[in-house]
Amino acid sequence: MLEENFFNPATQGMAPALIQIFATLLFCVIFLFLWRHSGVVYFGFWSLAWGLESVALGSSLAAFWGGSPAFVWTRALLEFCFALALLAAARSAAAASFHGIRKTLRSLVLFPGLLLLVYVFAWRLPITPFRAVHATVLALIYGYSFLSIGLHGGLQKGLGGILLRLSLASLFLQFASHAAIFTYASSGDAAAWVPRLGWIDVYDLVPQIFLAFSAMAMWIQTQQDTIGTLRHELDIFRQAATGSAELDHLTGLHNRLALDRQLGTAFSGVVAVCDLDYFKDINDRFGHLVGDEVLRSVGNLIRTSIRGEDTAFRWGGDEFVILFRNQHFDLVKDRMSALEQRLQSFRIRGHGLFPLGLSWGVAEGADKVLRPILEEADLQMYARKRDTHARKR
């Protein structure tokens, strides 16, 4: 019978049947790998589809070796399941769901019944018209999958997604042409067409191979994007950790570690070193908690008194360093004098007015190493402190 011979490896040739079985098993493994490593439901349904197709092709071999026509209709049933799995994959892409298997299955409640009616009708036809119906169904499913991925930004992302859509478009066109060929063959002497159509399923492997490798390319690109995102997040975490390590948490200024890392670098501008006078008396009189509050307030005052390009450090204890970048020497002296005057009206919470003395020194450098400039400003600060103490005596 023609119905039995159309899927018969003896009629089509053993080589095409074996090539198809090997290729479909390979596709099944590829998409199973992609599903297991990406968690994308779309790839899981594709793996299921190619697994069913490999079993369907195996039933053709069983029909040839066993001589039972039941295997022919078994393949027809498996071809229906293959189409259903492809439809489930398209629906999962349309739902834009990567992990929602239940949601995808719920959305398929009406589609299997409709598809089954089509195949029940087609099974009453000879095999050649059945192949025409089957090719039409697959063309529609591939076209629907092409449109679904177009609506799913995650699956069409990058070059891999573009290649995947192109392969689905080529499969749509190829199976649409198959439907036309089988329809034409069924209208004439179908027996004469069987030898000519023996390799047609093998030709289908070309866009299917393209589909599998484009899916692999898309997964590789997704992995690279994920790695890039993780690297970016790690860089942010490292910067935050570095920034936290170089921050004085009491005053909110940079700490001595941050300053030490800049001592060997070139600096252009003015360096100011300042120190609170008689700060030990505050700790002795009011306690260390009040002393910490004073340092916190002074740090905030310094931070709000400088520009965005300037940097302030707590060098240690009650001593501070300010780097005025690309600033004039006289202007920095005016700024430090203004800061000294503001501290004269300093108030301690709960204790009222408590003027704070500030000794400071400045030194200028033009593209010089920071360390000697800082040392000169430090010497100027101690000279000023000695003069202040001498006057009070």
CATH of the domain at 83: 1.20.1070
Task: Classify residue 217: in a domain, yes or no.
Answer: yes
One pLDDT digit (tens) per residue for the chain, 393 residues: 334 444 444 445 566 677 778 888 888 998 898 888 877 787 888 899 889 888 888 877 776 665 555 666 677 678 778 888 888 887 776 554 444 455 555 555 555 666 666 666 655 556 667 777 878 888 888 888 888 776 555 555 567 778 888 888 888 888 888 888 878 777 665 445 544 555 566 677 788 888 888 888 877 877 777 787 888 787 777 766 566 778 888 998 999 999 998 998 999 999 999 999 888 888 888 888 999 999 999 999 999 889 889 999 999 889 999 999 999 999 999 999 999 999 998 888 877 888 899 999 999 988 889 999 999 999 999 999 888 777 765
Q: What is the set of active-site residues?
A: 318
- The secondary structure element, H or E, covering residue 368 is strand 357-369
Q: Which of 159, 161, 175, 162 is nearest to 207 (CA)?
A: 175
Q: How far is CA 100 from CA 37, 96, 104, 157, in A?
A: 16, 9, 6, 20
Residue 4 pLDDT:
41
Query: Quick one: residue 277, left, alpha or beta (phi over 0 = left, psi -120 to 50 = alpha)?
Result: beta
Residue 109 pLDDT:
54
* Same-domain status, 201 and 277: no
Task: Give dist(CA 320, CA 300) in Å, integer.
Answer: 12
Task: Output the domain CATH number for residue 320.
Answer: 3.30.70.270
Task: Classify residue 242: in a domain, yes or no.
Answer: no
Whole-angstrom Cα Rg for the chain: 40
Q: Structurally, how many domains does the chain consist of?
A: 2
* Same-domain status, 272 and 386: yes
Task: Give dist(CA 226, CA 161) in Å, integer.
Answer: 16
- The secondary structure element, H or E, covering residue 315 is strand 311-316
Task: Give dist(CA 179, CA 138) in Å, integer.
Answer: 9
Task: Classify residue 219: in a domain, yes or no.
Answer: yes
3-class DSSP state of 318:
coil
Q: Tokens standing for 187?
A: 């209208």
Chain-centroid distance, C-alpha 368: 44
Distance spanning both ends of the chain, measured CA to CA: 125
Domain residues for the domain of 300 are 256-392
* Same-domain status, 33 and 98: yes
* Same-domain status, 263 and 230: no
Residue 200 pLDDT:
62
* Same-domain status, 261 and 380: yes
Q: Which of 201, 234, 267 is the last residue of a domain?
A: 234
Residue pair 363/270 in contact by the 8 Å Cβ criterion: yes
Residue pair 305/245 in contact by the 8 Å Cβ criterion: no
Task: Classify residue 248: in a domain, yes or no.
Answer: no
Residue pair 29/41 in contact by the 8 Å Cβ criterion: no
Q: Which of 182, 204, 234 is the last residue of a domain?
A: 234
Residue 375 pLDDT:
95
Helical pair 288-303 and 279-286, crossing angle rounded to 10 deg: 140
Task: Classify residue 239: in a domain, yes or no.
Answer: no
pTM score? 0.50
Q: How far is CA 242 from CA 202, 232, 235, 239, 258, in A?
A: 60, 15, 10, 5, 10
Burial 360-385 (b: 16+ CB within 10 A, else e): bbbbbbeeeebeebbebbbebbeebb
Order of strands, sheet of 311-316, starting from the edge strand that comes earlier in the sequence: 311-316, 319-325, 266-277, 357-369
Task: Classify residue 29: in a domain, yes or no.
Answer: yes
* Same-domain status, 275 and 205: no
Task: Classify residue 247: in a domain, yes or no.
Answer: no
Residue pair 275/360 in contact by the 8 Å Cβ criterion: yes
* Same-domain status, 24 and 146: yes
* Same-domain status, 41 and 151: yes
* Same-domain status, 178 and 303: no
Place of tokens 């030709």: 203
Residue 100 pLDDT:
47
* Same-domain status, 190 and 314: no
* Same-domain status, 7 and 142: yes
Task: Classify residue 278: in a domain, yes or no.
Answer: yes
Query: Quick one: residue 5, left, alpha or beta (phi over 0 = left, psi -120 to 50 = alpha)?
Result: alpha
Residue 1 pLDDT:
37
* Same-domain status, 223 and 109: yes
Q: Which amino acid is at 307?
A: R
